[in-house]
Structure 1
Amino acid sequence: MSTQLTSSTQPTSNQVTLELSVRNHPGVMSHVCGLFARRAFNVEGILCMPLANGEESRIWLLVKDDQRLPQMISQVEKLEDVLQVRRHGEEMRIFEQVAEFYC
């Protein structure tokens, strides 16, 4: 089975990257993604890596920038295992770099 990233996984002008610092243990990704799913807010791309200390992970989410996003960020910040949320615009190229690697 081959997985290919298409141009739709690369950020467009109406997409932003959310960078989450979270506690690293089972279920955290499920809680984050579940929150987006319950509010019918599509996540276009997901990357996750543990940090060097092993106690925290970094999650990057590629999402559409619409009028609901500020409320979504507020809800994500309230999750128990989310330590920090940062919003990045077009300057964040992490999803473009992944697409370049796979395409």
Structure 2
Amino acid sequence: MNAINRNENNALARAVLEIDVANHPGVMSHVVGLFSRRAYNVEGILCLPVGDGKASRIWLLLIEDQRLPQMIRQVEKLEDVAAVRRHHAGHAVFKQLESFFKP
């Protein structure tokens, strides 16, 4: 069983990965497929083109566990991935979206 981090309120700790990728069909499938093949649950996905549209940025909301550093290294090895940045779950991209879904 994998160790899962919990925050001070005993809730599951989450992380946000910000991934810069080449913008062409199948890239998101490759990135998310990497997590899927390893039974790593992705709780939220947001993907938007940036700049002139030749690149996209993918944000993934994940539950942190001991496998996350290894998952980041594997994502960085994907051909179409330019950069990966890790943020705390309080990252603005998902915080702003939460307001749309709260009753």
Shift of 1:94: 1.5
Q: SS where residue 85 of structure 1 aligns?
A: strand
Q: SS where residue 20 of structure 2 aligns?
A: strand
Q: SS where residue 43 of structure 2 aligns?
A: strand
Larger RCO, structures 1/2 (Cα 8 Å, 6+ apart): 1
User: How many residue pairs end up in the alignment?
Assistant: 92
Gaps of 5+ in 1: 1-11
How many angstroms apart in 2 are the aligned matches of 1:90 and 1:40?
A: 20
Shift of 1:102: 3.3
Runs ≥4 in structure 1, deviation > 3 angstroms?
none
Q: Which residue of 1 aligns with 2:49?
A: 50
Return the letter of the residue paired with 2:92: R
Deviates more, 1:92-101 or 1:79-88: 92-101
How many angstroms apart in 2 are the aligned matches of 1:19 and 1:34?
A: 16
> Is the 1:23–1:56 Cα contact (8 Å) retained in structure 2?
yes
Q: Which residue of 1 aligns with 2:23?
A: 24
Alpha-carbon RMSD across the aligned residues, in angstroms, is 1.3
TM-score between the two structures when normalised by the length of structure 2 = 0.84
> Is the 2:61–2:89 Cα contact (8 Å) retained in structure 1?
no
Shift of 1:54: 0.6
Shift of 1:83: 0.4
Gaps of 5+ in 2: 1-10
Identity %: 61
How many angstroms apart in 2 are the aligned matches of 1:13 and 1:88?
A: 15
